[in-house]
Amino acid sequence: MGKPLRIKRGLNLNLSGAAARPAGIAAIPMAEPETIALVPDDFTGMTPKMDVREGDRVECGTALWHDKECAEIKVTSPVAGTVKSVVRGERRKVLAVEITPDKGGIAKCAPGNAVGDAEGFKAALMAQGVWVQMRQLPFDTVPAPTGVPRDVFVTAWDAAPLAPDMALAVEGKTGMLEKGVAALKKLTTGEVYVGRAAGSGIADIAGAVMVDVEGGFPASLPSVLAANLKPVNKGETVWLMDAITLARIGQVASGEGVDWTAPVAVTGSEVTNPHYVIAPAGASIKSLIADGLKKQGHERVISGNVFTGVNVGADGYLRYPYTQVTVIPEGDDVDEFMGWASMSPGKMSESRSFPGHFLKNKLFRPDARLNGGRRAMILSGQYARYIPMDIMPEHLVKAILARDIDRMEALGIYEVTPGDFAAAEYADASKLELQRIVREGLDYLRKETI
């Protein structure tokens, strides 16, 4: 039994193209990507210094790059293979490291030694590339190496539209999760909280405080769990992660090799056959979409969900931290006459002025259009309805736009991640880019205060 937590503010969207849940992880086929890629930009807070060059041979667990500020923090290869290329952009910025995996299947990393004390454990996390899978509040970045977390918040479910069932990813791994919790408790002064969907099949994890959460997105985000259980104050640090990372931490702690594969849900209205597939981190999208796309017009291929995911295109790669691919229509080829006056039931909306709002069982097929022009904030109280935290989102966003650090701190910027604003960004009639605004605000604050 976990501690119940009912979150009223949030969003449950019914989109078409859900992947049917297989009976168990054994029933899911394995993808065989011809290329995988890791993207430095996904690891916010790190300045990458490359450790590999084109043509280098890498094993599972070999460092690809390390952090310029703290050389111990590494991003490692999830597969054994050869570095195909280091893709660089303007001013030689590294955009991605592409690796061609060895033929004959993706293997787990080689086992090492079990780690005893806290320092040794911390070093192992950093060296094996698991440290960078965690995030910290404040700032929603890779945890600072010196910080001691007040608490650790883990999420074992995903409330985003069409999200994969995380219970599959941790199936049979309760032991690893428990080892992960035990190890993390050496690093934190507080508790390890694990949020799971109320009624999900995830077993209690010994040593952790289990929380049974009910609610729509963003209720599944660990930052929301933190805000509702023990909000972060100025000067405090907490760590955030998902259960897949927690299991990998358990693997590091017990000396078992880290398993970089996970079940990935390939979803969305434009996918011919939505399904699950097991793939390593960074797998190419092409290798995941088995039966291809419906090709009904332009489409948008998203690594992740429609709220927080990244638009990577059909030639892209699975990006950190997602285990989901969503393909939706792009919509830039649609001419819609007077859409604002439409009473079509196909229009998805949280507003009661659309008939679609009342069709609770209908599966919608939205495209990527903004459905309106950008405006100043006109309607009031809209954001708060989708952000289940004790903050004043409208005022926080204004403080961020004004780059007013004192006000941002006073209004609780240390408690938020950009993802917390995703549902509000979806519903916003003024179409403001809330996640980008919050991300820029966090980066600005970090630059000014550290």
Subset of residues 204 to 233 that bind another protein, contact rule: CB under 8 A: 231, 233
DSSP H helices in 172-255? 174-187, 222-229, 243-254
Choose between 84 and 298: whose C-beta lies nearer to another protein: 298
DSSP H helices in 236-283? 243-254
Q: Does 313 bind another protein (CB under 8 A)?
A: no
| Smallest distance from another protein to CB 297, Å | 12
Give the Å distances, CA to CA, from 88 to 66, 101, 178, 323.
Answer: 16, 21, 40, 25
Query: Which single residue is written with the structure tokens 């790059």?
Result: 65
Choose between 222 and 309: whose C-beta lies nearer to another protein: 309
Measured N-to-C along each axis, helices 393-401 and 434-449 cross at an angle, to the nearest 10 degrees, of 60
Rounded Cα distance, 162 and 21, in Å: 11
| Smallest distance from another protein to CB 150, Å | 9
Rounded Cα distance, 211 and 155, in Å: 9
Q: Does 308 bind another protein (CB under 8 A)?
A: yes
Q: Annotate each residue in 113-152 with x if it binds another protein (CB under 8 A) or - if it does not, as one string.
A: ----------------------------------------
| Smallest distance from another protein to CB 281, Å | 21
Which of these segments, 47-55, 79-87, 112-120, 366-374, binds another protein (CB under 8 A)?
366-374
| Smallest distance from another protein to CB 405, Å | 14
Choose between 290 and 427: whose C-beta lies nearer to another protein: 427
147: tokens are: 């910080």
Choose between 315 and 390: whose C-beta lies nearer to another protein: 390
Reported as half-sphere exposure (CB side, CA atoms, 13 A), residue 61 has a value of 18
Q: Which of residues 5-34 bind another protein (CB under 8 A)?
A: 13
Q: Does 255 bind another protein (CB under 8 A)?
A: no
Rounded Cα distance, 168 and 324, in Å: 13
141: tokens are: 């970045």
| Smallest distance from another protein to CB 303, Å | 11
Q: Which of residues 374-393 bind another protein (CB under 8 A)?
A: 375-381, 384, 390-392
| Smallest distance from another protein to CB 58, Å | 32
Give the Å distances, CA to CA, from 97 to 63, 109, 325.
Answer: 12, 19, 20
**Residue 151, beta-bridge partner list:** 238
| Smallest distance from another protein to CB 275, Å | 21
Choose between 58 and 397: whose C-beta lies nearer to another protein: 397
Choose between 107 and 410: whose C-beta lies nearer to another protein: 410
Choose between 86 and 348: whose C-beta lies nearer to another protein: 348
Measured N-to-C along each axis, helices 174-187 and 118-127 cross at an angle, to the nearest 10 degrees, of 120
Contact 163, 325 (CB under 8 A): no
| Smallest distance from another protein to CB 400, Å | 14
Give the Å distances, CA to CA, from 249 to 111, 134, 246, 291.
Answer: 13, 10, 5, 34
Choose between 100 and 349: whose C-beta lies nearer to another protein: 349
Q: Which of residues 273-302 bind another protein (CB under 8 A)?
A: 300, 302
Q: Annotate each residue in 322-361 with x if it binds another protein (CB under 8 A) or - if it does not, as one string.
A: ----x-x-xxxxxxxxxxxxx----xxxxxxxx-x-----
Q: 377-389 burial string, b = 16+ CB within 10 Å, else e?
A: eeeeebbebbbbb
Contact 169, 262 (CB under 8 A): yes
Choose between 292 and 297: whose C-beta lies nearer to another protein: 297
Which of these segments, 45-53, 164-172, 276-284, 305-313, binds another protein (CB under 8 A)?
305-313
| Smallest distance from another protein to CB 438, Å | 9
Name the amino acid, one letter, at 417.
Answer: T
CA 359 to mean position of chain CA atoms = 29
Rounded Cα distance, 40 and 268, in Å: 27
Enclosing H/E stretch for 101: strand 94-101
Choose between 53 and 369: whose C-beta lies nearer to another protein: 369
Q: Which of residues 393-432 bind another protein (CB under 8 A)?
A: 394-395, 410-412, 418, 422, 425-431
| Smallest distance from another protein to CB 209, Å | 19
Q: Which of residues 430-449 bind another protein (CB under 8 A)?
A: 430-431, 433-436
How many residues make contact with another protein (CB under 8 A)? 74
Choose between 18 and 410: whose C-beta lies nearer to another protein: 410
User: Which DSSP category does 181 fall into?
Assistant: H
